[in-house]
Structure 1
Amino acid sequence: MASEQKAVFDLIGRRYDESFVERDDQLAEGAWLIEQLDRPARVLDLGVGSGLPTAKQLIDAGIDVVGTDESAVMLELAQAQAPGGSYLHRDMRDLSDLGEFDAAVAFFSLIMLPKADIPPLLSGVRELLRGPRLLQVSMVLGDFDRFPISFLGVPTEASAYPPDELRQVVTDAGFEITELREVAAEAEPNRIEVQIYLRARAL
């Protein structure tokens, strides 16, 4: 599965950013996180992708960002579009040798994992957190596991949770949910989807 998802984003490349019509809510989440963190601060960006908008937003605010991604093509974009971050070419499930973080974010990246892999990943992330120990996750509303989809014309698989199930998964991983909201957004031209934004704090 990992190599297949890597190939998907190698193919998509720059079109990933060009596809997004609305990113106001993700930008708002980044702004909220910036306000919560005293400097110096260190944030783990799981599935950093092209670095836009979150890695760049955090770096521009003086925050140290470590971003992981399987796609070398996306990491090249991140280096160019969000310079100053530390970008690691690896599966986001590999948390070894990363050090500690004040916060971790996973914006629309957990979607690409089988549901069985998400709880242990979140539990592992919890062990890396210090200080405010914040977590932000965004997903697409749904109820499916490794469901075949087409994203920007490239076949892939995706997973999604109903809000209550996502809340339970994150809680079971050792976090307290502080906010969960649903928003409708134009994810691709002429395609509206409901997105879930979750904020949590490690216990």
Structure 2
Amino acid sequence: MTTEQTVPAFDLIGKRYDESFVERDVQLAEGAWLVQQLEPGSRVLDLGCGSGLPTAKQLLDAGIEVVGVDESAVMLELARQQAPGGQYLHQDLRDFEALGEFDAAVAFFALLMLPRSDIPALLTQIRARLRGPRLLLVSMVHGDFDFFPVSFLGAATNVSAYPPDKLRDVVADAGFEVLELQEVEAEAEPGRIEVQLYLRARARD
């Protein structure tokens, strides 16, 4: 087995992710919307927080408490440098029950790193940890495949994707009211355009 197969992809990618991710306007707009919905001091779970940019820093700058979870130690060290003030935890995205309750959760391009079979249970778990406004932001890549091998910024990894209607159904079935779903064309890495899905939801009573 090669080193690249045993090391998490984003440990290999590191800072190149921020340098190569060309378009983040919609992610920033989604973060700004969330800030408008929350009171300062609210607590947000950032699943797959990566390098802390842009979302963890955006929320922290607005006076919101951020708990970031990521499976890449390299990305978490970048987050501590680039978005100081958050609580950053090196652990599996599916293992956060001990972290308490949150006013909102965000998962920007994080759920796509999981097999489809794990995503509904994770969304249900998120819903159980939400309080107050009980908001959820999710972004995925438009597609219809399950843990498919790809190369991203030169690192081998596996990703899952949903078509829009299926993503809406998966989130709704986990106990959320879907508020909005956008489809956006974006340059995910230099020279490669993809269609991205951005979803806003609120946990149902």
Asked whether the two chains share a fold, i.e. TM above 0.5, the reply is yes
Give the TM-score, by structure 2 length. Answer: 0.96
Find the residue that maps to 1:29 and give its secondary structure: helix
The verdict on how the C-alpha distance between 1:4 and 1:130 changes in structure 2, with shifts beyond 3 A counting, is farther
Give the TM-score, by structure 1 length. Answer: 0.97
Partner Cα separation in structure 2 for residue 85 and residue 57 of structure 1? 11
Shift of 1:95: 1.6
Alignment match, 1:43: 44
The verdict on how the C-alpha distance between 1:172 and 1:134 changes in structure 2, with shifts beyond 3 A counting, is same
Alignment match, 1:28: 29
CA contact (8 A) 2:136 2:201 kept: yes
User: Deviations 1:74-120 (Å, cap 9, x if unpaired)?
Assistant: 00000000000000110010022111100000000111000000000
What code does the residue aligned with 1:184 have?
A: E
Partner Cα separation in structure 2 for residue 37 and residue 31 of structure 1? 10
- The farther-off stretch of 6-15 and 110-119 is 6-15
Partner Cα separation in structure 1 for residue 55 and residue 134 of structure 2? 18
Counting only pairs closer than 5 Å after superposition, residues 37-116 of structure 1 correspond to structure 2 as: 37-116=38-117
Partner Cα separation in structure 2 for residue 179 and residue 6 of structure 1? 36
Alignment match, 2:194: 193
Alignment match, 2:142: 141
What code does the residue aligned with 1:125 have?
A: I
Quick one: percent identity of the two aligned structures? 73
Alignment match, 1:163: 164
CA contact (8 A) 2:5 2:156 kept: no
Structure 1 residue runs of 5 or longer lacking an equivalent are none
What code does the residue aligned with 1:45 have?
A: D
Shift of 1:4: 5.6
Partner Cα separation in structure 1 for residue 104 and residue 149 of structure 2? 31
User: Deviations 1:142-174 (Å, cap 9, x if unpaired)?
Assistant: 000011100001111110000000000000000
Residue correspondences, number: 201
Shift of 1:39: 2.2
